[in-house]
Amino acid sequence: MSGFVIAEILEVKDPAGMQQYAALARPTIEQYGGRYRTLRGKMEVMEGDWHPAPLVIIEFPSLERAHAWYDSPEYRPLIAQRQAVSRTNFIFIEGLG
């Protein structure tokens, strides 16, 4: 069953720092079998009152692989870097299969 990481980018405090983080994060995501499904793509609210900030959605082969990536020695140091240059909501969600 696939697992998704969804990051809502509420604020980018340092654009250059965020670009550096993204460049360093991508290989760690790929190393754990992750693939970007959307990277701050165009959004349209069709119903309701939700007006999310730009979203990044990453698909992993399983929720366990998503957790392995997040807790990995390759990605763990990048969390502090991301938090220093941006303000994000970060969730994991289980896929259908």
Q: pLDDT tens for residues 61-77?
A: 999 999 999 999 999 99
Read off the tokens for 10: 């509420």
* Gap between the terminal Cα atoms of the chain: 4
Give residue 20's pLDDT. Answer: 97
Give residue 31's pLDDT. Answer: 98
List domains and CATH numbers for the chain: 3-42+53-94 (3.30.70.100)
Give the number of other CB atoms < 10 A from CB of residue 34.
Answer: 22
Residue 4, H or E segment: strand 3-12
Within the chain, residue ranges assigned H as helices are 15-31, 63-70, 76-85
- The yes-or-no verdict on residue 43 having pLDDT over 90 is no
